[in-house]
Amino acid sequence: MKYLPINPVLFIKNRQNFVAKLKPNSLALFNSNDIMPTNADGTMRFRQNNDLFYLSGIDQEESILVIFPDAKEEKFKEVLFLRETNEHIAVWEGHKYTKSEATQTSGIRSVFWLSEFKTIFNALMGQCENVYLNTNEHSRAAVEVETRDLRFIKWCKENYPLHTYQRVTPLMHHLRAIKQKEELELMQHACNITEKGFRRLLKFVKPGVTEYEIEAELLHEFVRNRSRGFAYEPIIASGAGSCVLHYVENNQVCQAGDVLLLDVAAEYANYNSDLTRTIPVSGKFTPRQKAVYNAVLGAMKYCKSLMKPGALWDDNQKATGEYIEKQLVDLKLLTLDEIKNQNPDFPAYKKYFMHGVSHFLGLDVHDVGDKFRRFEAGMVFTCEPGIYIREENLGIRLENNILITESGNFDLMANIPLEAEEIEDLMNA
């Protein structure tokens, strides 16, 4: 891993909070993600299962975490199982956790090799009544590949059919929505790395530069600051591409007079940031571009003002949409008659602002959480309104990461240039 060691206090606290939500005499098990194949003997880069990482800090394939607070022996209340290394693995794949390193990372004292898993697990299953198993139940997930978790669920139910099985997901969605102090520090660090990348771009972007060259500049800055790279597939969209919400081709030449929409951000220690900025390729917005930009900026500031304890996601979405509706009238994109005769289930503004204004952020970019739960201190959301005018090849989106606090909110990206004039000044400095 490129990132610096994380204080194991974070993972110890996370496990304590998790255990407090278990039914009596319950065992919970978490698997690492698989290493996914590409073609021939190729594989994708490994990305740890976020629930296992959240509870242990272990960032290695073929790892299993078992939590059994009512185990009859103290040493089996928290157990890690790791892939045992050898000289061949060390030569071909590099260093793997030793048992002492795993304890230092996670705060878990009982560490065994995977070869001992079935024997120990069988003994523990003889003691427990409830078994909590994990699956990906994100509302936007489209799971077509059978995961290690799903294979384990099949195996476990086949071999232990008389236990009572419970879902881990509701517990983890509730816990992970509230960030610990240590998590917020990691997310702030990811935002700070993103800021470095964006400021670098303001000195680099000009007519004739390609979108993929911009992508390369960002990747250089992110990795040199200990990030693994982009938190998600980067969107670097100039001209007409700025109106494509998930544009990822990044292969066009930036033309004078166009805007460049950048939805790009760094991750750090598996925690994500999520930034969007729109800048003028020529270093100065046209009057029309600036008018649309300031309309979106006003919507962003308005939406941010609504993000405080007790708020609901749907209410913020509706209110921000109504704010943008007024801006679209001022921009002569909508008429009052269109608004009066609109379909209430598909408001007229959705022609130009068609996506959600916010989502949870954390170990996942679209992090887990319940959109119907009222905002609480410690939650982190994006704030990302936009206006997309396809007939003008003009798309503007702005996005910052907002921490909900007891008294309102705190912008984790407050230091990243946002005002149109500031961006122009920095591009022409």
Residues 6+ apart with CB under 8 A from 281: 205, 206, 207, 209, 238, 254, 255, 256, 257, 258, 259, 260
CATH of the domain at 41: 3.40.350.10
| Entry pTM | 0.96
Tokens of 19: 């255990």
Residue 151: which domain range? 9-176
Same-domain pairing of 141 and 207: no
pLDDT digits 0-9 by tens, 3-29: 999 999 999 999 999 999 999 999 999
Judge whether 169 and 139 are in contact, CB under 8 Å. Answer: no
Residue 241's alpha-carbon distances to 249, 263, 387, in angstroms, are: 9, 12, 13
CA 424 and chain centroid, separation: 29
Q: 352: which DSSP letter?
A: T
Split at pLDDT 50, 70, 90, the class of 409 is: very high
Same-domain pairing of 153 and 210: no
Same-domain pairing of 128 and 186: no
pLDDT digits 0-9 by tens, 195-234: 999 999 999 999 999 999 999 999 999 999 999 999 999 9
Q: What are phi and psi of 288, to 5 degrees?
A: -65, -45
| ∠ Cα 183 189 190 (to 5°) | 90
pLDDT digits 0-9 by tens, 33-57: 999 999 999 999 999 999 999 999 9
Q: Could you give the number of structural domains in the chain? A: 2
Of 395, 232, 369, 388, the C-alpha closest to 313 is: 369
CA 156 and chain centroid, separation: 30
Same-domain pairing of 342 and 206: yes
Same-domain pairing of 92 and 188: no
Cα 238 from Cα 204, distance rounded (Å) = 15
Q: Which residue has the tokens 């594989």?
A: 43
Maximum CA pair distance of the chain? 74
Same-domain pairing of 218 and 367: yes
Same-domain pairing of 123 and 260: no
Same-domain pairing of 117 and 216: no
Same-domain pairing of 99 and 35: yes
Whole-number pLDDT of residue 310: 98
